[in-house]
Amino acid sequence: MTNPVSSIRNLGPAFEAACTRAGIASAEDLREMGADAAYARLLASGTKPHFIAYYVLVMVLQGRPWNDCKGKEKEALRARFDALRSRSEATGLPAIEAALDRIGTGLRR
């Protein structure tokens, strides 16, 4: 039996919908992938990068309160997030999507 992503405390329906768009079908899939691989997949599917969403994901997958991240640990997570975002941006959009994005009709962000 699989559980929905939203069965993980502090991950709600909006995050579950983003996971569905990214091909992450269940809480078990999300846990198995881990935060970095899952967040990279979310970015690749068009989710807008957001540091708080990333560190909340890291914390909840560790079974910790979402706001438990502080100090040096938070700085290290910020570096990981920036690296994920940079890799995602480096892949770019297909030419047609880039053109549509410039006129405001591209991927929803």
Q: Is residue 109 part of a domain?
A: no
In a domain, 64, yes or no: yes
Convert the pLDDT of each residue in 36-74 to its tens digit. Answer: 999 999 998 889 899 999 999 999 999 999 889 899 999
Looking up residue 12, the CATH number of its domain turns out to be 1.10.150.20
Could you tell me what percent of the chain has a pLDDT over 90? 67
| The model's pTM | 0.79
Tokens encoding 43: 């970015």
Residue 107 lies in a domain: no
Residue 23 contacts residue 45 (beta carbons within 8 Å):
yes
Separation CA 80–CA 34 (nearest Å):
13
Residue 21 inside a domain? The answer is: yes
